[in-house]
Structure 1
Amino acid sequence: MIPINLSYGLKLELNQKLMMTPELRQAIAILQLSALELSEMIEQEVLENPVLEIAEKQSDEPEAEMDEPQREKEQLDDYLNWDDYFNQGMDKKSEYMVADEKTTVEKFVNSNVSLHEHLEFQLHLAVRDEATKIVGNYLIGCIDENGYLCGTLSEAASNLGVKEEMVLEVLELIQTFDPLGVGARDLQECLLIQYQQKGIYDHLVADIISNHLPDVAAGRYKAIAEKLACKPQDVQQAVDVIRTLDPKPGRAFGGEQCSYIIADMSVERVNGKYVITVNDTSIPQLTINPYYRRVAMGADSESKKFIEGRLNSAVWLIKSIEQRRRTLYNVMEAIIELQQDFFDKGPKFLRPLVMKKVAEKIEVHESTVSRAIANKYVDTPHGLVSLRSFFSTAVHNSEGGQDVSATKVKQKIKELIVAEDSSDPYSDQTLSEILCQHGMKISRRTVAKYREEQGIASSAKRKRY
């Protein structure tokens, strides 16, 4: 047995390591927020931190006080404007009311009518019998957001304690409501309702809807033509008519509200140089209330500790917002320098770019660049562009020149397909060979991938007979 010597002792060591402090986590989170998300976050912080307050924006010109004779004159002018209404047939008074209320686009967006409300309103106008209204309201409640009826007629009749014939009669009434095709029990019935109500008198269209929808989805027009003893051209024309019908008639109502993209930065060309402007207009300007500093000086230790903690949190938040602004500016400045051809000539001249190159240029970590471009948009001379779209992988140039970006390859594929002969569309292999002739060495499978990413169908489905 070998004896083991065990002993106890104290030893000092000095080492360095990175610590993820709460302040650093907050700075990282703020960096990856868009302008709209940052504005919401600031409003929440103001509610939670009493030390913070939003600075009021003062107008450049003070509002002049209006004396009594001037006010009476304006009221008289407003009254005399009714003369324009009687002479021109336009209600100018309503225009003044809209201007006074400062109506915005968001006000109309927020007042969307849901599909159920729209159908119930039509039911109220079309039906007077109370029993029919009860059945109609029940069926409307069973219609999903796409406009389709969930459940069966027998279940509805059993739950309401009425005959199934009555439920069918009320459903047929609902199916005449707007939007066309609402209340259908499946896709086939939905399209047939629209076919009938739009007055499309084409037996081939009705036959294809009733019996050949799976073949239409697969693009098997020749097989349909053989079954119906007609030409593939006739089938394709009938399918073109079917594509004008809406398979989801209820999606135009309710659902998610329209979202608007607010540019986080804008780039303008001024005297041959590009000027970067960080969008701070939608972000509230924060200040620290001086009252709490005075309170902290005469407060007890516990209150003073609380106020100092809130003050430190407020100062760090303001610093983090300013740091975000500087980082966005530096990233955008590096992108302009590395993608000069894009800003000078357009999207076709976008070069391959990786985040590491931008990170090295502004001397930050690659993850910082990734967070800075997340969910950010910039208003450029060529339109609103996502910051992430400036970064794309490189495609090897077969002619030995400079590599091209994947975005440029995708655009070239789209241009070739738009200009192709519809009776003999390019296959993915043909597109790959054409791209190689243009110096873009790319495989057939990659062509198929880029084509599908742009929502372009295969050559078999693009073919026109």
Structure 2
Amino acid sequence: MALGPRLDLRQSQSLVMTPQLQQAIRLLALSNLELEMFIGETLEANPLLELGEVRRDDAPEGEVEPLVREAGADSGDGEAALDLDESALDRDRDTGDEWSAASSGSGEEGPGIDERGATDGPTLAEHLHAQVGAAAGDGREEFVARAIIDQLDEAGYLTGTLAELADALGVPLAEAERAMAVVQSLDPTGVGARTLAECLALQAREADRYDPCMARLIDNLDLVARGDVARLKRMCEVDDEDFADMLAELRAYDPRPGLRFGGGGEAAVVPDILLRPAGGGWDIALNEATLPRLIVNRTYYLQLRQGGGKAAEAWLKEQLGEANWLLKALDQRARTILKVAAEIVKRQEGFFRRGVAELRPLTLRAVAEAIDLHESTVSRVTSNKYLACPRGTFELKYFFTSGVASSDGEGGASAEAVKAAIRALIAAEHPKAILSDDTLVDLLKDKGFDLARRTVAKYREALGIGSSVQRRRQKKLAGVG
């Protein structure tokens, strides 16, 4: 058989990720705060874009048209949703001159949820530095003490070892120990400790309760955690009444004294979506407080275009096209997020009205099929985005939970609802009748949850709740029952 070259024509299909499509995918996955940072960078790169004033609705107060009158009602035209797995974004974009969150929301200002963060009080380091000058004996001791303060973590514990710090400062260990004593004498009591036992011992000394019995109790915190009451009483040489007093005193101490000051807490979560009751339904809107309004300055465009030459005109045309496309992409992003949020509210309406016990199993695919979007698009929408409602602020991923079978065979229940039921049952158990996992299985079946014992144990452990034996020891330590 002879071999020779030949030409063949073949047809094939492939998805081309254009730069605009890649940018749109990135925009959809960003949270509102991340989007604000992206817009700031874009404003620096494109001279035709600028920030506009936040737009207010023309409707009188109290007459704002809710976006969703009924739970789950569509939040906008289906064609406006941004399904990034279609090729619609590959086409040229032609849009108006402005974009803002108000174009896709209710027009009301969002509540100041982001203002509920930490207070403006001093940090732990600032609080300690303000005291150390008066407590130190001389300038050298003050210098070492300030160095120790700078090595404390947010809870007030020393990171690293004192020997390493003394070596780094070039001072004798004994001098570092004296400076450490100065730090440990500051308010709040317990800062500067290297272990939990040392932190509690400092507070016991301050309360004049650090006798030999309390010292033995603090030195054996592992036995306290295990609930070995009989062994602890023998070691401390006390009776039941004295031992109960010692435990009560120990529980009154703060194991993390530094956290009462600023700088130790996490930043407050800023919601991307706001949900409010509106009549018999819901009002869903994007949080306008974190979404700046963009406008295209066409007057500036015309001024730059005059007398700039062909090269300048081509560059301006390119910048105008990018600006118009960005406005369109941002508007589509807003509509897509609201469309997904509306479907979530529709399917989880029981949770929003009655609590976690009504949370239903939900998957990304179910939402995607209901609103005619691709599953990956819904996944991007629900990533790193939070919804604020009267029950609190929740990540959108929270509403997508696995399901468990119901005892009546009709549908299923959310794993979160099962966890809530387990938590409620254990919280209500009698100290003298601790519920075993087998008993929990029977009680849950009465509530409509058909679960195996190992599943109940898994959910209980996920909640951080100990076994029946551990809970019985804890209640015994607490003097209950």
Q: TM-score, normalised by structure 1?
A: 0.79
Whether the aligned pair in 2 keeps the contact of 1:222 and 1:232 (CA below 8 Å) is no
Identity across aligned pairs (percent)?
A: 36
AA of the residue aligned to 2:279: N
Corresponding position: 1:27 with 2:20 = no
Whether the aligned pair in 1 keeps the contact of 2:408 and 2:448 (CA below 8 Å) is yes
More helix by share: 1
Structure 1 residue 294: Cα displacement: 4.6
User: Which residue pairs with 2:64 in the alignment?
Assistant: none
AA of the residue aligned to 2:222: P
Corresponding position: 1:275 with 2:283 = yes
| Cα deviation 1:338-380 (Å, max 9, x = unaligned) | 2233344333222211111111111001111111122222233
Unaligned runs of 5+ in 1: 62-103
- In structure 2, do the counterparts of structure 1 residues 294 and 8 end up closer, same or farther at CA, with 3 Å as the change threshold? farther
465, 468, 471: which is aligned to 1:462? 471
131, 134, 149: which is aligned to 2:143? 134
- In structure 2, do the counterparts of structure 1 residues 243 and 20 end up closer, same or farther at CA, with 3 Å as the change threshold? farther
Whether the aligned pair in 2 keeps the contact of 1:377 and 1:386 (CA below 8 Å) is yes
CA–CA separation in structure 1 for the residues paired with 2:410 and 2:13: 47
Superposition pairs for residues 283-302 of structure 1, below 5 Å?
283-290=291-298, 291-296=300-305, 298-302=307-311
User: Which residue pairs with 2:255 in the alignment?
Assistant: 247
CA–CA separation in structure 2 for the residues paired with 1:194 and 1:335: 50
2, 5, 20: which is aligned to 2:3? 5
Whether the aligned pair in 2 keeps the contact of 1:142 and 1:151 (CA below 8 Å) is no
Structure 1 residue 434: Cα displacement: 2.0
In terms of Rg, which structure is larger?
Answer: 1
CA–CA separation in structure 2 for the residues paired with 1:22 and 1:438: 53
Structure 1 residue 29: Cα displacement: 1.7
Whether the aligned pair in 2 keeps the contact of 1:136 and 1:174 (CA below 8 Å) is yes
CA–CA separation in structure 1 for the residues paired with 2:114 and 2:359: 35
User: Which residue pairs with 2:427 in the alignment?
Assistant: 418
CA–CA separation in structure 2 for the residues paired with 1:26 and 1:158: 49
Structure 1 residue 403: Cα displacement: 1.2
User: Which residue pairs with 1:431 in the alignment?
Assistant: 440
| Cα deviation 1:271-329 (Å, max 9, x = unaligned) | 32323223224211001121124534643333233222222222222112111111122
User: Which residue pairs with 1:54 in the alignment?
Assistant: 51
Q: Which structure would you say has the larger RCO, counting Cα contacts within 8 Å and 6 or more residues apart? A: 2
- In structure 2, do the counterparts of structure 1 residues 445 and 200 end up closer, same or farther at CA, with 3 Å as the change threshold? farther
Corresponding position: 1:449 with 2:447 = no
Superposition pairs for residues 22-421 of structure 1, below 5 Å?
22-57=19-54, 113-127=122-136, 129-149=138-158, 150-152=160-162, 156=166, 159-161=169-171, 164=174, 166-200=175-209, 204-210=213-219, 212-228=220-236, 238-253=246-261, 255=263, 258-290=266-298, 291-296=300-305, 298-421=307-430
Structure 1 residue 256: Cα displacement: 6.0
AA of the residue aligned to 1:47: E
The alignment of Structure 1 onto Structure 2 pairs a total of residues equal to 418
- In structure 2, do the counterparts of structure 1 residues 328 and 108 end up closer, same or farther at CA, with 3 Å as the change threshold? closer
AA of the residue aligned to 1:288: V
CA–CA separation in structure 1 for the residues paired with 2:408 and 2:24: 46
AA of the residue aligned to 2:224: V
- In structure 2, do the counterparts of structure 1 residues 383 and 297 end up closer, same or farther at CA, with 3 Å as the change threshold? same
Structure 1 residue 336: Cα displacement: 2.7
Mean CA deviation greater in 233-242 or 27-36: 233-242
Mean CA deviation greater in 449-458 or 234-243: 234-243
CA–CA separation in structure 2 for the residues paired with 1:198 and 1:297: 81
Whether the aligned pair in 2 keeps the contact of 1:296 and 1:308 (CA below 8 Å) is no
Secondary structure at the aligned position of 1:190 is classed as helix
Mean CA deviation greater in 248-257 or 272-281: 248-257
Secondary structure at the aligned position of 2:288 is classed as coil
Structure 1 residue 156: Cα displacement: 2.4
CA–CA separation in structure 2 for the residues paired with 1:386 and 1:105: 15
Structure 1 residue 258: Cα displacement: 4.3
Whether the aligned pair in 2 keeps the contact of 1:114 and 1:254 (CA below 8 Å) is yes
Secondary structure at the aligned position of 2:182 is classed as helix
- In structure 2, do the counterparts of structure 1 residues 155 and 124 end up closer, same or farther at CA, with 3 Å as the change threshold? closer
Secondary structure at the aligned position of 1:368 is classed as helix
CA–CA separation in structure 1 for the residues paired with 2:367 and 2:260: 43
CA–CA separation in structure 2 for the residues paired with 1:234 and 1:426: 30
- In structure 2, do the counterparts of structure 1 residues 174 and 384 end up closer, same or farther at CA, with 3 Å as the change threshold? closer
- In structure 2, do the counterparts of structure 1 residues 336 and 123 end up closer, same or farther at CA, with 3 Å as the change threshold? closer
- In structure 2, do the counterparts of structure 1 residues 41 and 297 end up closer, same or farther at CA, with 3 Å as the change threshold? same
Whether the aligned pair in 1 keeps the contact of 2:343 and 2:371 (CA below 8 Å) is yes
- In structure 2, do the counterparts of structure 1 residues 202 and 370 end up closer, same or farther at CA, with 3 Å as the change threshold? farther
AA of the residue aligned to 2:226: A
AA of the residue aligned to 1:276: I
Structure 1 residue 120: Cα displacement: 2.4
Unaligned runs of 5+ in 2: 59-112, 477-481
Secondary structure at the aligned position of 1:243 is classed as helix
CA–CA separation in structure 2 for the residues paired with 1:460 and 1:278: 48
Whether the aligned pair in 1 keeps the contact of 2:155 and 2:264 (CA below 8 Å) is no
Structure 1 residue 420: Cα displacement: 0.5
Secondary structure at the aligned position of 1:385 is classed as strand
AA of the residue aligned to 1:386: E
Structure 1 residue 268: Cα displacement: 2.9
Whether the aligned pair in 2 keeps the contact of 1:205 and 1:239 (CA below 8 Å) is no
- In structure 2, do the counterparts of structure 1 residues 296 and 446 end up closer, same or farther at CA, with 3 Å as the change threshold? farther
Mean CA deviation greater in 147-156 or 287-296: 147-156
